[in-house]
Structure 1
Amino acid sequence: MQSEEQHTGGCSAGCSSGSSGGNTQQGCSCETHDEQRDGSVAAQTFGEEGPVKTLGHIGSKLVVLSGKGGVGKSTVAVNLAVGLARAGRRVGLLDVDVHGPSVPRLLGLTGTRPMIGEDAMYPVGWRNNLSVMSLGFFLPDPEQAVIWRGPVKMGLIRQFLTEVRWGDLDHLVVDCPPGTGDEPLSVLQLLGTDAQAVIVTTPQGVAVDDVRRSVGFCRELGNPILGIVENMGGYVCPKCGELTPLFPAGGGEALAAEQGVTFLGRIPLHPDLTSAGDAGRSLYEADAAHPIVRALAPIVERAAATLHASDIRHESTPGPQSEAAPGTGKTAATMPTAPTRNESCAPATNHPDTNGDTTMKIAIPVAGDVLCQHFGHCERFALIDVDPATGSVTGRNDVTPPPHEPGLLPVWLSEKGANLVIAGGMGARARALLEERGVKVLIGAPAAAPEAIVAAHMAGTLTLGANTCDH
């Protein structure tokens, strides 16, 4: 069991004070445990927490919550974050469900460990535009129970919000545990009243009753409600596509009308949704015509609209992911493409990887004459110049990197003028440092010739796999 006297990177609240491995609260000097010792828990009660400053700009904060457990809240949060990332937005996904962190499993990140620096934690990368942080990354035993009281949980949430180096984000999606207790209270108070709630329910009355309290909870705290999602709104037959109601239909939509909030959409049950979650992948890895992906489309579109166009910091320029789909009049958020394909668009006069420049330089770590799977230990880098208007390679210059030192390669590549780095594997800190300098990163590329990788990238056909060196 993970008790309050055990430690994750320091004290049980996640702090770094005290000696490693086994400090008790009595030997810990962190603020959270000071409050526990002197009994002044009132500082953590309703109305006392204030907004905190995060490491990096966050454009839109979306908190996914529900008054009822078992309604599929984490599934909604994960697919909302993936959908926004697929639409070209830079997204962070924070899992604050201390007692049941399921996001690592849903995204196939079980067993992954984030990088911890002296003064910051670095989120785990998933695909190109999505970074993830969860307590689940820090639990050494999947059967280990976390037994923490409110102040300790609030200390961890505060640490996640203030010490995770997300970089600049268009959207931060937070997956809260069910109810209106410590975790959602802390999240909304620490993020401030501009954080918007996405409330998840199922159609039956017993769930709607509890979710109704979530609406009142958000209003009492002064946080706007983006809308209500009705999950499990019927069963889709995988053979014929017929939708069969399993519960009295329309409970979520009726609640939205009763409370005067937006009804975001209805997500049906489908066997593929269960198998995808168990396999650690998103259904966005199927196709845009999948009934679950189509059901998610208006929810993602509404969430994407929470960020004003002038505030979008990483959105791609128009291409297959942002052009209106024929006959739909809808943007990329409603018509995602298959995520096993490269996120970049086809050649255009203003390719998204050029950051508005008229030239494009792609850096690829190589060993022999194929991509090296270890970014920091390659023989050399192939710096390939590309004409973004035609997608054609105009030149190649192989350069030997400086001796390997932490944090040096990202600065060096930025100074070499790289717009994009395509690698097989890369640590979280190196990726964060590159992105801080405006250099885009693609991870999980195959061991192939650099020119072939660039050609596939420019054509939008580059297949990306897992990060082979995520440390």
Structure 2
Amino acid sequence: MAHSCQHGDSACSGATAHAEKHEDQLVHEQLRRIGHKFLVMSGKGGVGKSSVAAGLAVTLAHKGFKVGLLDVDLHGPSIPKILGVQGTFHVDDQKRLVPHALSENLHVVSIQLLLDDPDAAVIWRGPVKHGVIKQFIGQVHWGLLDYLIVDCPPGTGDEPLSIAQTIPDVHAVIVTTPQEIALQDVRKSINFCRQAHVPILGLVENMSVLVCPHCGKEVALFGAGGGLKTAERMHVHFLGSLPFDVRVVEAGDAGTTLNLVRAANGSYAEALIALTDQVIERCSPPSVVPDQKTPTEKSEVKSAMETGVLRIAVPVAEGRLCHHFGHCEKFVLVDVRGSQIQNRAEVTPPPHEPGLLPRWLADHGVGMVIAGGMGQRAIGLFEERGIRVLTGAPADDPQNLVQRYLEGTLECGANVCDH
């Protein structure tokens, strides 16, 4: 039966636009509470992409980071099986989905957890997929996360495109095997990322060699060195190789991948830890400190660049947040690990010059700025350097602002310098 609108097409269009704007606000609100976002993708199926995504998530969580793992392989979700996730979602008092807590630091969301029958087929077209993916971000209570890892289906279809459009600062981790047919498809994934303006964190070569469990000899089942050669040819960073390990297959089928990684035993676990360390290092603030800084400033910057630390900058005047961002007296730099404040320091900015502060704060290892007001051009310059900006904050002690932000109780108003 056709729908008959009693309020007119314009009223329906207005309601739809309002709903979409509200959904976009929810997505934005969630994303600003998440540190690094990864899109794990591959050019073809069967390369172990989901196993890599799960292993990376588990290893990061084991290192003490708060991690969310989002499975958007809507037609063939495998993350719940790999990690042994069962049951359905809970809903909080704000009617948001609560991710499945696999451990204290690792939370999982998958379409599989919404299906009554795990063997049911999901038959959806592109627009529906896009809407579900936005809901999995905006209407899920992720909380504060250091990392969000998104496992996409193979190829360059609707799901990775929706992630690229929904998460502006997402970075791609591309998985391949050494064989040429996989490398041919992975080059398409690399070109997809470049056309969709998704920065590539690096390339992972999975199933690089089989290590014989009896004699320790390495057997190149799918060829050797193809991942590294492709990364060099396509000018992409090579994150590392993971060997073929029968125990990984067995753990995935049994849903005990979490225990396998926790054991940190064997060549696969060692390679996965090395890969994770590479990812962490490439996500850390730059370690190069300009020569013009004093020795004291250099040591302060270096201390904030420890792995897993987020440095938040707050412009201040007379000890409180200064609404005139470009003309503040000092910046208070607050170091946060997880949800805990670890350190606080003050630095005096250089004389005001258009476009200087984003570069100067990036050199100080800043990953986020809490401000009262800021011009759109300045916000764009910060975002280009991977620095998140939160505007509309009240004039308060900077450490109180950071603490309230971490607790989710910081109320922000309008951008008082929106020009």
Per the alignment, residue 115 of structure 1 pairs with 90
Corresponding letter in the other structure for 1:161? I
Q: Does 1:211 align with 2:193?
A: no
* Alignment of structure 1 residues 45-64 onto 2, 5 Å: 52-55=27-30, 57-64=33-40
Per the alignment, residue 227 of structure 2 pairs with 252
Structure 1's unaligned 5+ residue stretches are: 1-23, 29-33, 44-48, 317-351, 358-434, 439-471
Measured in 2, the distance between the counterparts of 1:272 and 1:27 equals 58
Per the alignment, residue 295 of structure 2 pairs with none
Per the alignment, residue 364 of structure 1 pairs with none
Measured in 1, the distance between the counterparts of 2:66 and 2:50 equals 19
Q: Does 1:222 align with 2:197?
A: yes
Per the alignment, residue 131 of structure 1 pairs with 107
Q: Deviations over 1:209-232 (max 9, x none)?
A: 111010011111111111110111
1:190 paired residue among 158, 166, 170: 166
Could you tell me the TM-score, scaled by structure 2's length? 0.62
2:278 paired residue among 278, 302, 306: 302
Contact persistence 2:62–2:262 (CA under 8 A): no
Corresponding letter in the other structure for 1:63? L
1:269 paired residue among 222, 226, 244: 244
2:123 paired residue among 127, 133, 147: 147
* Alignment of structure 1 residues 263-342 onto 2, 5 Å: 263-282=238-257, 284-285=260-261, 287-305=263-281, 306-308=283-285, 310=304
Contact persistence 1:50–1:190 (CA under 8 A): no
Contact persistence 1:52–1:162 (CA under 8 A): yes
* Alignment of structure 1 residues 48-127 onto 2, 5 Å: 52-55=27-30, 57-110=33-86, 112-117=87-92, 118-127=94-103
> In proportion to residue count, which structure has more helix?
2
Contact persistence 2:146–2:338 (CA under 8 A): no
Measured in 2, the distance between the counterparts of 1:296 and 1:107 equals 16
Q: Does 1:199 align with 2:199?
A: no
Measured in 1, the distance between the counterparts of 2:341 and 2:131 equals 41
Contact persistence 1:94–1:174 (CA under 8 A): yes
Q: Does 1:178 align with 2:178?
A: no
Change (3 A) 1:246 1:158: same
Measured in 2, the distance between the counterparts of 1:205 and 1:354 equals 44
Structure 2's unaligned 5+ residue stretches are: 6-11, 286-302, 311-336, 343-405, 410-419
Q: CA deviation at 1:302?
A: 1.9
Please provide the CA RMSD for this pair.
Answer: 3.4
Contact persistence 2:261–2:269 (CA under 8 A): no
Measured in 1, the distance between the counterparts of 2:265 and 2:4 equals 57
Change (3 A) 1:50 1:121: closer
Q: Deviations over 1:173-211 (max 9, x none)?
A: 00000111100000011100x211000011111111111
- The percent of aligned pairs where both chains have the same amino acid is 45
Per the alignment, residue 210 of structure 2 pairs with 235
Change (3 A) 1:25 1:307: farther
Q: Does 1:159 align with 2:159?
A: no
Q: CA deviation at 1:152?
A: 0.5
Q: Number of aligned pairs?
A: 286
Measured in 2, the distance between the counterparts of 1:223 and 1:135 equals 24
Q: CA deviation at 1:251?
A: 1.3
